[in-house]
Structure 1
Amino acid sequence: MIPPDAGLDENSFYNFGYLNEVTKRMLRRAILKAVSVPGFQVPIAGHEMPLPPGWGTGGMQISAALIGRADMLKVIDQGADDSINATSIRRFFERVADSRTTLSTSEATIIQTRHRIPDEQLSDGQIIVLQVPLPEPMRSLEPSDAVTRRLHAFQDYGMLYVRLYEDTVKFGDAGAGTNHPVLVNGRYFAAPSPIPAFDNHKLDSSPALFLFGAGRHRRIYAIPPHTCVANLSFDDRPIVTRKPDGQCSLCGSTESYLDVISDDTGMSSFVCSDTSFCSAQRSGESTGGRP
């Protein structure tokens, strides 16, 4: 899964994967620790990447440490392959790692994503790298890192349940938002990145390896394949995740997560957030999408 050091290409101005080999070894050790302790936030050193923090530097560091010449890379931003951020990151790795890239979820071995998990069924051997702006699920409730680390150590998550109760009383449910905390392997609560709560079930017992990178906060954590993941909820009131009601105006899908778009006349319609899934549906391919 982790490629051997590739070294400096003879005709390149960059080390393979952009990062130097010492840095990549450090990141790989952190990733191995994160996989060994699912949901635990492993500290890493911060490294400069050629884009501002907050635009995916944490995910790019993980991808740079893992990518090899045999890998096929896919980059998506909020489900789209053709956004400026996704296109820029994809071109970056094409240049510094001479990597093959794809727009197909099923063909990719490494999928770097922000704000979404692909709607297509993932498979064994795939690595999903998620960019996380805020890795600590209790940060909005407790500003001190020392305190949140102690709360994780004692598995004291009372403030999360109080917040869940307040949201339930105020809004009726807590399944319509994003970044809803998840319990990983029955031990640590983790932030699943700002993905919609509709995507959280894709983390549970998935055959793929999920790696979460927070560049600004210098943290890495992981959800290994086939790991039990559960939403933060009360035993007698499980959250009900929601998505916009309707169907995609392009492919007709009612299974995928939908975005709302408006034309010049003000008319609104739905389209699949996952552009690769939508394209495959229109071409008649079997994508193995989830209901």
Structure 2
Amino acid sequence: MSLSDLTRPWRAFSYGFLDASAKREMRRKMIKAVAVPGCQMPYASREVPIARGWGTGGLQVTLTLVTPKSVVKVIDQGADDSVNAASIRRFLTRVSGADATNDTRAATLIQSRHRIPEEKLGADQILILQVPNPEPLRPVEPNMSAARRMHADADYGRLWLTLYEQIVRSGRVMQGASYPSMVNGRHVMSPSPIPRWDVPKLHMADHLTILSAGREKRIFAVPPHTRVEPLVFDDVPYRVEDHAGVTCARSGLTGYFMNEIPQDGGGAAYEVSDSELGAKAIRHAEGGPDETGATWYVNGEMQG
């Protein structure tokens, strides 16, 4: 046998990079995930040209859903211009012919790592969240077979115990990102490493959210108009990060989720995490039109 016997002539990739079989499986699993909100569905995660742990799950979902008419937005912890976001966005446009945008309102597919945009999403938009660890029970039950049985039985007592212990030891719930949340009154999910600030944006939202973990080979979803309720005790209300009185040093925006930037001398400056929201505010301050759409939060308070 020679090397030529093991090769074949070059031919173009399938549209959107993934082959038809992979896309069929992804679509089936997405439909199942929508039908059972918050429940993890296993799938055969394919190889894509980025490393595991850098967004392969979200990328596979986007490659499955993208069409030449799509408008794609990719963000990394709120920023459109990070290396990871720019590289994924460039890859998506090259293999699909879809347009790319930084404007949240103009996008039809929004792939994100660790953040949900501050501007509200509509029914014609799909939010795709990259998930490193989809299993909310892993901190309390490392045996995944046992964790699956606990999900089947809706046995989440250990999660409640963990939250109780945090309150006893620290006086408040210390869970930050990936706050465990009950979906549709049945399954507890780990809503990606989004901050507590972003979890209420999933509750009864108009848009579809698909969460995918390529390394862990799990996909789950939050359909539109579905209840997403963080696990909280009746006498200890859910609290988001206190950024209501913090002002962005670049754009002057106040009342949105901020990144803290250490400064020389021990102080700190703040910059709005949603980079495009800040860019819109700067353009408006310089005399341009107000391009900002309705936002989930106003002055640090979640809107109904």
Give CA deviations for 1:131-161 in whole Å, capped at 9, x if unaligned: 0000000101101111111111111100000
Q: CA deviation at 1:40?
A: 0.5
User: What TM-score comes out, normalization by structure 2 length?
Assistant: 0.89
Q: CA RMSD in A?
A: 1.5
Query: Is the alpha carbon distance of 1:279 and 1:175 closer, same or farther for their aligned partners in structure 2, counting shifts above 3 Å?
Result: farther
Q: Which residue of 2 aligns with 1:258?
A: 258
Give CA deviations for 1:172-198 in whole Å, capped at 9, x if unaligned: 222661110110010100000001011
Say whether residues 1:247 and 2:247 are aligned partners: yes
Q: Distance in 1 between matches of 2:173 and 2:100?
A: 37
Say whether residues 1:163 and 2:162 are aligned partners: yes
On the 8 A contact 1:176/1:241 being kept in 2, the answer is no
On the 8 A contact 2:112/2:128 being kept in 1, the answer is yes
Query: Is the alpha carbon distance of 1:216 and 1:176 closer, same or farther for their aligned partners in structure 2, counting shifts above 3 Å?
Result: closer
Say whether residues 1:46 and 2:53 are aligned partners: no
Q: CA deviation at 1:13?
A: 3.1
Q: Distance in 1 between matches of 2:154 and 2:266?
A: 49
On the 8 A contact 1:59/1:131 being kept in 2, the answer is yes
Partner AA of 2:15 in structure 1: F
Query: Is the alpha carbon distance of 1:98 and 1:264 closer, same or farther for their aligned partners in structure 2, counting shifts above 3 Å?
Result: farther
Q: Distance in 2 between matches of 1:130 and 1:40?
A: 15
Query: Is the alpha carbon distance of 1:175 and 1:281 closer, same or farther for their aligned partners in structure 2, counting shifts above 3 Å?
Result: farther
Q: In terms of Rg, which structure is larger?
A: 2
Q: Comparing 137-146 with 233-242, which one deviates more in the overlay?
A: 233-242
Query: Is the alpha carbon distance of 1:176 and 1:120 closer, same or farther for their aligned partners in structure 2, counting shifts above 3 Å?
Result: farther
User: What TM-score comes out, normalization by structure 1 length?
Assistant: 0.92
Partner AA of 1:72 in structure 2: V
Structure 2, unaligned runs of 5 or more: 1-10, 285-289, 298-304
Structure 1, unaligned runs of 5 or more: 1-11
On the 8 A contact 1:173/1:240 being kept in 2, the answer is no
On the 8 A contact 1:175/1:242 being kept in 2, the answer is no
Q: Distance in 1 between matches of 2:237 and 2:205?
A: 21
Partner AA of 2:33 in structure 1: A
Partner AA of 2:260 in structure 1: V
Q: Secondary structure at the match of 2:81?
A: coil
Q: Which residue of 1 aligns with 2:293?
A: 287
What does residue range 1-291 of structure 1 map to in structure 2 within 5 Å? 13-174=12-173, 177-244=176-243, 245-263=245-263, 267-284=267-284, 285=290, 286-291=292-297
After the TM superposition, list the runs of 4 or more consecutive aligned residues in structure 1 that deviate by more than 3 angstroms. Answer: 262-267
Q: Distance in 1 between matches of 2:103 and 2:264?
A: 31
Q: Which residue of 2 aligns with 1:5?
A: none
Q: Secondary structure at the match of 1:226?
A: coil
Q: CA deviation at 1:124?
A: 1.1
